[in-house]
Amino acid sequence: MSTIAAFYGGKSILITGATGFMGKVLMEKLFRTSPDLKVIYILVRPKAGQTLQQRVFQILNSKLFEKVKEVCPNVHEKIRAIYADLNQNDFAMSEEDMQELLSCTNIVFHCAATVRFDDPLRHAVQLNVTATQQLLLMASQMPKLEAFVHISTAFSNCNLKHIDEVIYPCPVEPKKIIDSMEWLDDSIIDEITPKLIGDQPNTYTYTKALGEMVVQQESGNLNIAIVRPSIVGATWQEPFPGWVDNLNGPSGLIIAAGKGFLRAIRATPMAVADLIPVDTVVNLTLAVGWYTAVHRPKSTLVYHCTSGNLNPCNWLKMGLQVLATFEKIPLERAFRRPYANFTTNNFMTQYWNAVSHRAPAIIYDFYLRLTGRKPRMTKLMNRLLKTLSMMEYFINRSWEWSTYNTEMLMSELSPEDQRVFNFDVRQLNWLEYIENYVLGIKKYLLKEDMAGIPEAKQHLKRLRNIHYLFNTALFLIAWRLLIARSQMARNVWFFIVSFCYKFLSYFRASSTLKV
């Protein structure tokens, strides 16, 4: 049996962010490989009109948890949802819940975060820094705690080119930032945000770096480890390939490409696309939890969960494979045929944005208005362009992440653990993974029926014909206007017409002679 799976047996585990993309996969794997674990406590807040219980019910009854129900039929009894809002003092938890958590928890996985790039600094600090600080304070009062695993991001130091598995100091102490958020006015915070974040691209990476420093400063006698994943994508293998349920990272842009909204992207084709499948991150995280609890390293170890140094893929390869998959398995009701131009040139980016993004949106909205419907394409396109601009920083650079700790951990695992908790990305076949990713987006995220593929292909053919027709009409109109205004254009036109006429006459005469 797997040593790691056995380790989690009988344990009480606390997960924050369990309703998120990574948290769900983490819970699923824990239940599937260690069905005899005692309980998983999850900190949940009511959301979108759903109570805690409804949210948990929805997760457990989703496709992701189908296998869990076979190996752990009483999964409902082993999950304990605790009301908590990480934005509040003491997480707004009841006294009884707090006492239960403090006295019973053996392992903590801290996944909750705001991953939005444009979150106001105050909110990002509250969730990614202050909440981490509060959770560490709670952890220090847990007598049975064996390990605390903090999920950060490989981009927390993306202002550096080479990143080691160490915690880098931040220019301003996290405590000072937390304090200042308490008394500064929102407008002043907005004003000083660019100065504070310095050469970090956004409030997300900045506050994740501060969060790491807090972990280092508040770790005390705790057994703590930090896992730093790069761009987390759909599952590679487990519980099945291609599972994804949110639009973050590449998923939203892949949909935009498949639906034909995204036609050009300012990306460096040969820059490393450092994607990492979510099940790989989860396997490493569970192995880290085990190693930290059992081996109790003297200092806080940082583990990079990245693919670039071991098995690199670049954005061009990824983009081409995404488009190739859409040829075979198109999305339904596409706006235009999937196609993407990669450019690094600013002028070309502006050109493609005008010609391929804004102009079609304006024309389509005009058509919607003419037919008495509400225009919506320009708004959608503006949102896409905003998303693209936020992502540009990450798709025009490459980073080198050292992975000594991760490789050390791999060598510490038994062959059985290396199989069950596989995080060796050298085995990943990118073309297969990307195809499954695109397929997963269609099936699990967009919930499109595979039976609709022939109709989707027909629709793309119609779009192609409309495209040809539109281009021909545009050419003829432009030409007609030119002829009306320029003697030179008229001369060229008469030359072409007379040339064609002569060619046809010659062709007819020579074919008559042969007969």
Ligand X SMILES: CCCCCCCCCCCCCCCC(=O)SCCNC(=O)CCNC(=O)[C@H](O)C(C)(C)COP(=O)(O)OP(=O)(O)OC[C@H]1O[C@@H](n2cnc3c(N)ncnc32)[C@H](O)[C@@H]1OP(=O)(O)O
**Residue 36 CB, nearest approach to ligand NDP (Å):** 25
Would you say 306 and 154 are in contact if contact means Cβ atoms under 8 Å apart? yes
Q: State the binding string over 56-95 for ligand X (x if CB under 6 A, else -).
A: ----------------------------------------
By CB under 6 A, residue 161 contacts ligand X = no
Phi-psi region of 242 (alpha: psi -120 to 50; beta: other; left: phi over 0): left
**Residue 115 CB, nearest approach to ligand X (Å):** 4
Within 10 Å of residue 455's Cβ, how many Cβ atoms?
12
Which residues are bridge partners to 13 per DSSP? 40, 107
List the single partner that 348 binds among ligand X, ligand NDP, none, CB under 5 to 8 Å by kind. none
**Residue 42 CB, nearest approach to ligand NDP (Å):** 9
List the single partner that 116 binds among ligand NDP, ligand X, none, CB under 5 to 8 Å by kind. ligand X
Within 10 Å of residue 173's Cβ, how many Cβ atoms?
14
Would you say 292 and 286 are in contact if contact means Cβ atoms under 8 Å apart? no
List the single partner that 112 binds among ligand NDP, ligand X, none, CB under 5 to 8 Å by kind. ligand NDP
Helix, strand or coil, per DSSP, at residue 267: coil
Site for ligand X in 434-453 (CB under 6 A): none
**Residue 116 CB, nearest approach to ligand X (Å):** 4
List the single partner that 39 binds among ligand NDP, ligand X, none, CB under 5 to 8 Å by kind. none
Q: State the binding string over 330-369 for ligand X (x if CB under 6 A, else -).
A: ----------x-----------------------------
**Distance between alpha carbon 497 and the CA centroid of its chain, in Å?**
55
**Residue 158 CB, nearest approach to ligand NDP (Å):** 11
Cα 437 from Cα 113, distance rounded (Å)? 24
Cα 177 from Cα 182, distance rounded (Å)? 9
Site for ligand X in 134-153 (CB under 6 A): 153
Site for ligand X in 380-399 (CB under 6 A): 383, 386-387, 390-391, 394-395
Helix, strand or coil, per DSSP, at residue 331: coil
By CB under 6 A, residue 254 contacts ligand X = yes
Binding region for ligand NDP (CB under 6 A): 17-23, 43, 45, 47, 84-87, 111-115, 127, 151, 153, 208, 229, 231-232, 246, 248-249
Q: Is the peptide bond before 239 cis (omega within 30 degrees of 0)?
A: yes
By CB under 6 A, residue 257 contacts ligand X = yes
- Amino acid code (one letter) for 496: I
**Residue 403 vs residues 230, 302, 306, 318: alpha-carbon distances, Å:** 12, 9, 8, 23
By CB under 6 A, residue 23 contacts ligand X = no
Site for ligand X in 208-237 (CB under 6 A): 231
Q: How does DSSP classify residue 307?
A: S
Q: Which is nearer to ligand X, 223 or 325 (CB)?
A: 325
**Residue 168 vs residues 64, 157, 304, 407: alpha-carbon distances, Å:** 36, 8, 14, 21
The structure tokens listed for 216 are 């280092």
**Side-chain half-sphere CA neighbours of 293 within 13 A:** 23
Cα 54 from Cα 44, distance rounded (Å)? 11
Q: Which is nearer to ligand NDP, 8 or 117 (CB)?
A: 117
Q: State the binding string over 394-423 for ligand X (x if CB under 6 A, else -).
A: xx----------------------------
**Residue 423 CB, nearest approach to ligand NDP (Å):** 15
Cα 361 from Cα 348, distance rounded (Å)? 19
Whose CB is nearest to ligand X? 252
By CB under 6 A, residue 252 contacts ligand X = yes
List the single partner that 29 binds among ligand NDP, ligand X, none, CB under 5 to 8 Å by kind. none
Which residues are bridge partners to 272 per DSSP? 314
Cα 109 from Cα 40, distance rounded (Å)? 11
State the burial class of residue 476 (Cβ atoms within 10 Å of its Cβ: 0-12, 13-18, 19+). exposed
Q: What is the size of the binding site for ligand X (CB under 6 A)?
A: 27
Nearest partner of 47 among 125, 112, 97, judged by Cα: 112
Whose CB is nearest to ligand NDP? 20
Q: State the binding string over 294-323 for ligand X (x if CB under 6 A, else -).
A: -------------------------x--xx
Q: How does DSSP classify residue 330?
A: P
**Parallel/antiparallel/unpaired status of strands 231-233 and 275-277:** parallel
**Residue 124 CB, nearest approach to ligand X (Å):** 11
Q: Using the rule CB under 6 A, which residue among 102, 247, 385, 463 binds ligand X? A: 247
- Amino acid code (one letter) for 226: I
List the single partner that 319 binds among ligand NDP, ligand X, none, CB under 5 to 8 Å by kind. ligand X
| Residues near ligand X, by CB under 6 A | 115-118, 153, 155, 231, 247-250, 252-254, 256-257, 319, 322-323, 340, 383, 386-387, 390-391, 394-395
